[in-house]
Each structure stands twice: as structure tokens, then as C-alpha cells.
Structure 1
Amino acid sequence: MLASKRILLIIGGGIAAYKSLDLIRRLRERGAEVVPVLTRAGSEFVTPLSVSALSGRKIFSDLFDLTDEAEMGHIELSRSADLIVVAPATADLMARMAQGHADDLASTLMLATDTPVLLAPAMNVRMWQHPATQRNMETLTADGIGFVGPNDGDMACGEHGPGRMAEVHEIVTAIGSALSGGPLQGRRVLVTSGPTHEPIDPVRYIANRSSGAQGTAIAQALAALGADVVFVTGPATVPPPGGVEVIRVETAQEMLAAVEGALPVDAAVFAAAVADWRVTSESDRKMKKTEGGLPLLEFAENPDILATVSRMAEGRPALVVGFAAETHDVVDLATAKRARKGCDWIVANDVSHATGIMGGAENAVTLITKEGADSWPRMGKDQVARQLAERIAQALA
């Protein structure tokens, strides 16, 4: 897949730059030619000598190099590559790309090319979650830029959360998918994620503890395999992935409408933790405490999104995957749920308090199909997502 492919690797200035050295080695092992571009900030973290030695190539770093620019070197570099990879892609690099700056070699290369570009972001969790960075990501995604990561994890600064650069093997996989189109190229997949919020009054609502981490990871893994992903998310605590179409909703009814509006799709993965009930008489004013006692709340059942799509007579996706978050008798309850809802697969997990799975970084799931139950070992949610995405690709093939 990578043999004889020419990859222009731009190394940004972040502590994760050390991973770029291993990335070069792994790409060359697979037969790729790696042309390195080292930013000025990147050279503070890895040396030109180490990058040159591992790539077997001269490094490029200066926009105003007289020898290279005599032949418009930045144009030639940007046009001769099969793929441009930025790893790490810092907040500053993403901002300059989104704004169309061309004040150094790296930004000029990315502005002067029609070659596909893949970013592997890496930055502090607060920097990644900042509205400016999220706006830049959405702008770049709309421009057709691909993303791999970032992952959740421990930061060099001691904080924990999204912003850690994807691991080298993940970037290599994403590069392969970008160059080959991936096994899900041409497939449209719907993913729902996060909780729903069902309002009681303007300041109170019914919700659950879902963070949206697993659904986000699944959408990202499907996109890495080449799928065109529609991501319908409730108010999750993790940011949505890059490279996908994002539709934000609040309530179960809004989620159903968004799902129906996204059809037809080849596959649908319902990872959202949809509230089972809503308040029938939502107040338009904040409810006050009174001496008369507790307020009386009346509930109605929310629409069953999974069952609605599973039972469609026309336009049903070829593969419908549901989730079952249980606290006991996980396999038995999930197996019964698959039959009751009419979906093809159920991904079941134990979300009892002792597992730490709800809102945590790991998951332990059992995949329920008509053939039976396949229990997977406990692993990171990103790994669960990749394994599920690969199974989906096999099923659609």
C-alpha cells in the first residue's frame, strides 16, 4: 500500500515531535519515501541530523533557501508528494493553515498544493478544547483536510485529556487509508453519540453520565478507514472528531429527526445514550421551591431511535449496530435487546459503578450477533473503536 509512495512529512514544534522519528522509520519499512520538512519550532525538539539520518534525505526548513528556491522549491515539494502529513500538527500550525498564512516553508507548502493533507494534532488539552482551535478544525475539515487523533491520555505537562498525538501505528494506518481510499471508501456511515438532555425547565434537565468518548472514537475510526461519516451528537463532554459531518442535538426527539434526515446510509452505529423518558409538561419558567411540597413531574416515553431505524421497511441501512449499557446480566439482556429492537449487532458493556467505564478511557465489550456473543478483552476506547470499525468494514464488504 505504501510502497513507492512519496510522503512529505512536516514536523511541527511540540514535545510529540519525537514520535515523528519513529513514524519516519515505520513508513520507510513499508517502502515509502519520506521527504522531511522541519519547522523552526520543530527543530527545538528533534535535530535536523536525526531526521535526515532516518529519512535518508536532505531536510527542508527554509522558505528562502537560495539553492532550492531558485527552482521554486516549495512548489515542487508540495506538488510532487502523494500525501502531505503534519505530525505533530500544533495549535499554531492549524491556526495558520485555517487562515491561509504563508509566512514560512511549512505553511507555504500547504497553501501551494492540491495534494491531500493529513494532520495529527498534538497540544495541551485546554488548547485543543479552546473554541478557536475547534473553529480552526471545523474550517480545515470543510476544506477537505484529514485528521488522525488526537487521543485522550496523559500530557507531558501533567494534565490528562484529549490532545495527545495519535500513536505511530494509528498514523501509519491513517496514511494507508488516505492513499488507498480505505476499505470503507465510498460508504456512508451514521454514528450517534453522547447523552441527550431532556429539559424540565429553562435551567434543569434529565441526563446521564455518558461522555460521548466511545461514539467519538468510533466515528474517528470509521473515517480513518475511508468512510463518509455523519456524526449526530448530544451534548457530550469530549469534542467531536475531525474529518466528519457533525450534527449537534440536545433531546431524543431532535436526535431522531437528525438521524432520519441523514438517511440513507450503508451502516448506522447507535452509540448514543438516549434518555428513555422526557417530561411532558416542560416549564417555560424556573420552577421554585414552595411550602406546598415537591413538584409533580409527568413523564412520557422518548422515541426508540434504534428500533425505528431497525424496523424500517424502506431505506434501512444494510448494517444496524446498537449499544447496550447494562449493570447486570449483560450478555443475556443485550441478546434479548437485539431481538427486541431488530438490529443486526449489539455492542454490550457493563457500566456498573465499579467498572469505571461510563465516562472513563477504557471499555470491555461483548459483540452480540445472530451467531452468538464475542467477548473482547478490556482495552482503550480507541482500540474498541478500531476493532469495531474493522468488523463493520468486513461486514459491508
Structure 2
Amino acid sequence: MHALRIFGWSLAITVIGVAAAGVIGGPRNAALVAILAVLEISLSFDNAVINATILGRMSQFWQRIFLTLGILIAVFGMRLIFPIAIVALTAHLGPLEVFDLALNDGARYAEKLGDAHPAIAAFGGIFLFMLFLDFLFDPEREIQWIKKLEEPLRRAGQLDVVPIVLGLIALLVVGQAFAGDHQQQVLLSGVAGLATYLGVRGLGEFFEARGVGAEDDDDDSVAESAGLAPVRSNGTGGPPKLVLATGKAAAFLFLYLEVIDASFSFDGVVGAFAISQNIFVIAAGLGIGAMYIRSLTVYLVRRGTLGEYIYLEHGAHYAIGALAIILAISIETEVPEIVTGLIGVAFIGLSLLSSIRHRSAERGLAGAGSVPGEDEGGPGQPREAVGAPM
């Protein structure tokens, strides 16, 4: 029943969306909506894992906001309004003119959307690449998947500016090697993406560190009054109540999640035009997929899955690093969506297998009378890299 509650709205919207597409446009449109939904889910599973790591730091009240207001932003904002706004900005057209173009001339709208791809790829690519670098160079990250690679980078991360310097170097390399005739556009968009990442993440961490949320409003009290229990540690990696962000801190984390979603979503929107040129079919299919990703995010948090399968977060970040590289390459060279999807699935699959191996080894040690993690800083702390690939 717990899973049904979390995925209930996604299932209901799937039935309504596919049925409505069938009634309005016939069986073909219904099938296209279903195909696009599956495409979005397959391309964005790593997005769900990343979202879960951030959502786990937020109160249950804000988790509910993510699943309600957040899905409206994801479906109507990122999958419908955002592409129209980008085309209007890059093609120097009015929003109403672009919307009319999307309704009546899907091929030309898709062409204009493709023309905007270099700027979006640079913005989203550098944003995701910074997310990847900050993970690799996090000096406080104790769990390591590929220790020989990650341990030296973790130590280097004690110098805070390393990820930023590497991000800027990567942007210059992309501008020189992959931008072609779009160099100025790519560099400007890349700088904007870097500034957005640093600004949104920095503000969220600032308010979280100062505990502003707890002073401004007690979201957990609001959640309890609505019949929602505050999130507490469940012994499998769920965050303790003291670290949950509320108020302004949670609001900036929520904004951070939405920008991450935007970075993931645009590539799917562009690719969707290979399947259909009807913007409503695309918005419906990708929107249904986005709902499942959000439900899956909340499910991972509530079940403490990232604490149980400890390398999933690593696999998701490596997949994000690969996606950032693919976005850079795609500025001038088309990369099939299936390649992007398979790379993401491969990293997630390998990290899942390593996590299962680690868990089995821990249980074997516990069965032999050893308490897992006792010599690593106390009960409940996982051993450093049992079962991880070297």
C-alpha cells in the first residue's frame, strides 16, 4: 500500500493521459504518448537517484511539495513552456508566435528548437558536469565505489576551487573543440550554467548551514498536522531529523532540483520530435514519464534505498558525468538517445550489482559475529569498499 500511495497519482495520470490521447487523436496518439513516457523513464532513472539524495535532506512537507507543485513545473514548465521560451529567446520571436508555430508547423518548430540546442547543451552540460565534479571532489564523502580513482580526488577536493577550475577548463575545451560556429553562444550559455549552479547550490547550503528554515517555519509541524510523520532515520541510510532542511533552505534545494530536472529534460524534448511533432503528445508523454521519476524519487527516499544500495548514488553521478560529455559532443554531432539511455543504465546496473555484493559481504560478516562498520566509526556506518570494484 505504501508504494501504491506514492505511485498512485502517476498510475492515474497515465490512464487519463493515454485514454485522452486515444479519444482525441486515435490509437496512434495513445501509443505515441505511452512510448514517450517509457523513453523519459528510461533516460531519467539516474535523475531520480540524484533527486533522492537531495530530497532526503528535505522535510516530508517539502517532499510533498516536490511531488505536487514540482510535477506541475516539470510537466507544464519544463516540457511545454520552457522549450517555447527557449525558441522565442534564440530565434528572436514572440512567445505567442512560437506557440502558434508549435501548434501549426511542428516541423519548423522542431527546427527552431534544434537551432537552440547548442546553447541549451552548454548550459545543461556544464550544470550537470559541476554536479558530477562536486560529487567526485567531496572531501567528506566516506563511501567509495572505485577507490583507486575516487580517493585521490576526494583528497584533492579539500581545495574548494578545484571543481570550479576544472569546470571552466572543460567549458573552454568544449568551446574550442565541439562548438564549431556556435562558440560564442556556447561559452555564454556555459558561463550562465556555471553561475546558476554555483548560485542555487550555494544559497541552499548557506541557509541549510545557518538553520534558517527551522527559525522561519516549522515545516515538520505543518506536515504532522496534515497527518504526515516527519522523516527520521530508519537505520538503512534515511537521514536523521536534525539534518532535514525546511523553510528557505528547503526552498532553495527545491529550486536546485528543478534546475537539475531542466538540465535533464531538454535533451528528451528535442529527441521526442523524432517520434512526434505534436507538442501536446510530447508534453503528455514526457509529463507522464516525469511523474514516474518523481514518484520513484520519493520511493527511494522513503524506503532508504540509497542507504541499502550504497553505490547507486555513485553510479548515478557517473551517468551524469557521461551525459554532460554527450551533451558537449551533441552540439555539433547528433548522438542517438538510445546511446545516452544505455550508458546511464549501464552505470546504474553496475553500481547496483556492486551494492548487492557489498550488502551480501556485510551480512556474511554479521552472521560470523562481526558488527558491520564497528571499526569504521561506529554501528550503522558501512565499511569503506567491501565488494566494490577496484
- So what's the TM-score if we normalise by structure 2? 0.20
Specify the structure having the higher radius of gyration (Cα). 1
- So what's the TM-score if we normalise by structure 1? 0.20
The structure with higher relative contact order (CA 8 Å, sep 6+) is 2
